[in-house]
Amino acid sequence: MKPIHLIAALMLGIPMMLIPTDAFADEGMWLFTNPPKKWLKEHYDFEPSEAWLKNLQRSAVRFNSGGSGAFVSPEGLVITNHHVGADALQKLSSPDRDLVAKGFHAKTRDEEIKCVDLELNVLMSTEDVTARVNAAVKKDMSQADAEKARRAVTNTIEKESLDKTKLRSDVITLYHGGEYHLYRYKKYTDVRLVFAPEQDIAFFGGDPDNFEYPRYDLDICFFHVYEDGKPAKVEHYLPWSKSGASENELVFVVGNPGHTDRLDTVRHLEFLRDRNYPSSLRTIFRREVLLTAYSQRSLENARRAKDELFGIQNTRKARLAALAGLQDPAIMDRKSKDEKTLRDSLLKDSTLKGDAKAWDDVSTAIDEWNRIYTDWALLENGTAFNSELFSIARQLVRIADEDAKDNADRLREYRESNRESLEQQLFSEAPVYDDLEVAKLADSLSMFMEQAGADNQWVRKTLRGHSPQARADELVRGTKLKDVAYRKEIAKAGRSAIEKSDDPMIQLALLVDPPSREVRKTYEEKVDEPLKQAYAKIANARFAIEGTSTYPDATFSLRLAFGQVKGYMQDGKKIPPWTTIGGAFKHSDLHGAKPPFVLPDSWLQPPKPLDQNTPFNFVCTADIIGGNSGSPVINKAGQYVGIIFDGNIQSLVLNFTYTDAQARAVSVHSSAILEALRNVYGAVELADEIERGRAK
């Protein structure tokens, strides 16, 4: 499972919708303001208290780079996955220090390394602002005016909240327009790396074992948060369980699932199946081939591309499995029957009859999306310009334009409430490698020519008579945007500096910004806004028929899921709920101890003997999706029993429909984490800090 930022980028903006209420036993990504208390009491005889929920909410951490985590000590210690932390690890690495591959262990606070651009968010409070958002969008407005009004009111609400509370403030769309909630986050930007194991054990089994089970991975990474340059003290954290999870135990998952599409209309799902997924997969395949070839040229190349290639490979496998779900007639037939049942119910109710047209409105919007899809994907979503340096140039160009507008009128990325987070990424000291940038940009410019056509005016103007390779080399070698001080200078000087700049990458961003903005405008006014309005009608009609005791689709916002630690049957065999540390050695031997089944030397020759019977990885029936990576698994006592790092292959249809027959969330067991810290890595001080929290 990969952090959501990469998956979201390749998903190309797919909307979310309301979830059906005929839920399976453990289905649901529940809001903390509407937890499934009745179900838990009736089926598990458990009633979560408000104090229990509050501690879980404020112990949970969202990684703004994608993924989840949790505080596990009052000293600000955060645990997440190695593959969530890999973005930070990669940016802190160098040719002489590969933290992704070799791992890291700070034995003292002084040895911790400050991350270059990592932002962690902790949800402090929520507020229902649905009435205010809906009041701003009048019934007689055109779609264009409605989109502007909705953007203006959400920008304004967020700015008012930021000014009042000093907390990061985001308006979250729930039930895809049925409700709007204001989420306020405490933000940590001084985050320091404490510990990461070697990638060989964090991703043991590599791509062959990815999305499979049984597994034997120590997919963990630790950070400390600081405030005002001093170690942070946190009130809310999760005490570590002594025994971890046990079979059939009720457990909870607290994290930030990225997105699901479980009640998109059938027409919408067909568009994903026939256009969106195949298109994004072609891009994924292409980038995987490119990065693989680049990586094979040298060990240094492999290090530079490692995290990005891992993400691409991970996304490819997940997307293929999800597409298989969309191509399954049984799933699509069920969606069609559910849709017909709901539409028939609306037609029988005179007060709701008018909302039945919403499905036709979705189809009209999808037709428009299909019409502009190629230009929208290439230009506005930037698949034609696969370059970190181009992304920086575009941000600078658009900041200059958007800063000249009132906050209410700005594009969402450039609203005042998001400025600090935007600048943290824009002015990141993360390394940029010319040769990798040239390779990526040349390939994407070639794709631009293939998909838009060699005679397309924007292709011609972009290439300026050069080949994609030569033009990419000219752009990357000629730009000064690798210099962070130069970026800050341009950003401060504003529009005049942008217009006068002779930087080739800024000139390219200026060139393609008008057509990019134009296709974005069409998308927002004729696709996104109509979909919001249509799906809001469907959601509200469902509210009227079935009530609001359900959960909204995933939106990379904090959710509570639950389930049981439970194995399953596959190919006539019983798959046990957990593996053991000893099983990792057997798994390696079974594959001849060859990559990617090679255990690191630290495990083959540990300073202290390992307890071979210690539970290593385990599975549960909790409802998860991309973005849940790093989510803590909690028992009824509110104790930390594990960390989500993957789902099995059967879970990859959870984007569209939930099943607990074989679909499982895969976690690292809390006992294995302590066993490894103490007996493999000698990280006694870290294990002690974790265990001190048990006194809570």
Q: Among residues 14, 637, 524, which one has the least CA distance to residue 319?
A: 14
Return the pLDDT at 545: 83
Mean pLDDT within 26-34 = 95
d(CA 638, CA 60): 12
d(CA 152, CA 147): 9
Chain centroid to CA 34: how far?
Answer: 23
According to DSSP, the β-strands at 68-71 and 168-174 are unpaired
Mean pLDDT within 407-421 = 97
pLDDT confidence of 543, banded at 50, 70, 90?
A: confident
Q: Between vectors from CA 654 to CA 341 and to CA 370, what angle results, nearest 5°?
A: 70
> Are 17 and 538 contacting, i.e. CB atoms less than 8 angstroms apart?
yes
Cα-flanking dihedrals φ and ψ of residue 182, to 5°? -90, 120
Q: What number of helices (H) and strands (E) belong to the chain?
A: 27, 20
Bin 383: left if φ > 0, else alpha if -120 < ψ < 50, else beta: alpha
pLDDT confidence of 438, banded at 50, 70, 90?
A: very high
Cα-flanking dihedrals φ and ψ of residue 252, to 5°? -125, 145
pLDDT confidence of 596, banded at 50, 70, 90?
A: very high
Return the pLDDT at 182: 98
Is a pLDDT exceeding 70 seen at residue 134? yes
Q: State both tokens at 104.
A: 């890291």
Mean pLDDT within 589-609 = 97
Please state, in angstroms and as integers, the Cα–Cα distance from residue 61 to each residue in 148, 406, 627, following that order: 32, 32, 12
d(CA 203, CA 249): 26
Return the pLDDT at 547: 75
Return the pLDDT at 9: 41
Spatial neighbors of 657 by CB under 8 A, at least 6 apart, are 262, 325, 331, 334, 335
232 or 543, which is more confident = 232
Q: State both tokens at 318.
A: 């997940």
155-194 burial by CB neighbour count: b if 16+ within 10 A, else e? bbbbbebbeeeebbbbbbbbbbbbbbbbbbbbbbbbbbbb
d(CA 233, CA 243): 26
- 259: buried, middle or exposed (CB in 10 Å: 19+, 13-18, 0-12)? buried
Mean pLDDT within 227-249 = 95
Is a pLDDT exceeding 90 seen at residue 693? no
pLDDT confidence of 508, banded at 50, 70, 90?
A: very high
* pLDDT tens per residue across span 265-298: 999 999 999 999 999 999 999 999 999 999 999 9
Q: Among residues 32, 25, 55, 69, which one has the least CA distance to residue 559?
A: 32
Is a pLDDT exceeding 60 seen at residue 622? yes
d(CA 207, CA 195): 24
Q: How many CA atoms lie within 13 A of 633 on its CB side?
A: 32
Return the pLDDT at 519: 98
Is a pLDDT exceeding 70 seen at residue 19? no
Neighbours of 638 (CB within 10 A): 19
Return the pLDDT at 4: 46
Mean pLDDT within 138-167 = 97
Element (H, E) at 42: helix 37-44
Spatial neighbors of 540 by CB under 8 A, at least 6 apart, are 178, 355
Q: State both tokens at 24.
A: 């399976």
Return the pLDDT at 2: 52
d(CA 372, CA 369): 5
* pLDDT tens per residue across span 158-216: 999 999 999 999 999 998 888 999 999 999 999 999 999 999 999 999 999 999 999 99
Return the pLDDT at 80: 98
* pLDDT tens per residue across span 479-500: 999 999 999 999 999 999 999 9
* pLDDT tens per residue across span 304-361: 999 999 999 999 998 998 999 999 999 999 999 999 999 998 988 888 888 999 999 9
* pLDDT tens per residue across span 623-651: 999 999 999 999 999 999 999 999 999 99
Task: Look over the chain and give the mean of its residue pLDDT values, rounded to a whole number.
Answer: 94
Return the pLDDT at 3: 47
Q: Between vectors from CA 674 to CA 670 and to CA 676, what angle results, nearest 5°?
A: 115
Bridge partners of residue 634, in order along the sequence: 252, 640
- 238: buried, middle or exposed (CB in 10 Å: 19+, 13-18, 0-12)? buried
Mean pLDDT within 247-252 = 97
Q: Between vectors from CA 260 to CA 255 and to CA 263, what angle results, nearest 5°?
A: 135
pLDDT confidence of 116, banded at 50, 70, 90?
A: very high
pLDDT confidence of 242, banded at 50, 70, 90?
A: confident
* pLDDT tens per residue across span 510-519: 999 999 999 9
d(CA 680, CA 581): 12
Return the pLDDT at 696: 55
* pLDDT tens per residue across span 72-108: 999 999 999 999 999 999 999 999 999 999 999 999 9
User: Any idea which residue has 């769309």 for tokens?
Assistant: 173
Mean pLDDT within 244-263 = 94
Is a pLDDT exceeding 70 seen at residue 18? no
d(CA 599, CA 141): 62
What is the CATH class of 4-119+189-262+553-695?
mainly beta
Mean pLDDT within 598-606 = 98
User: Any idea which residue has 């000698």 for tokens?
Assistant: 682
- 104: buried, middle or exposed (CB in 10 Å: 19+, 13-18, 0-12)? buried
Mean pLDDT within 432-461 = 98
Return the pLDDT at 350: 85
Return the pLDDT at 389: 98
Q: Among residues 29, 39, 1, which one has the least CA distance to residue 561?
A: 29
Amino acid, single-letter form, for residue 59: S
d(CA 325, CA 332): 9
Bridge partners of residue 128, in order along the sequence: 181
Return the pLDDT at 455: 97
* pLDDT tens per residue across span 374-384: 999 999 999 99
Instruction: Provide the percentage of residues in the chain whose pLDDT is more than 70.
Output: 96
Return the pLDDT at 1: 61
pLDDT confidence of 541, banded at 50, 70, 90?
A: confident
d(CA 627, CA 44): 27
In the chain, where the domains are located:
4-119+189-262+553-695, 266-546
Is a pLDDT exceeding 60 seen at residue 8? no
Q: Is the peptide bond before 596 cis (omega within 30 degrees of 0)?
A: yes
Is a pLDDT exceeding 90 seen at residue 114? yes
Q: Among residues 356, 344, 369, 197, which one has the least CA distance to residue 268?
A: 369
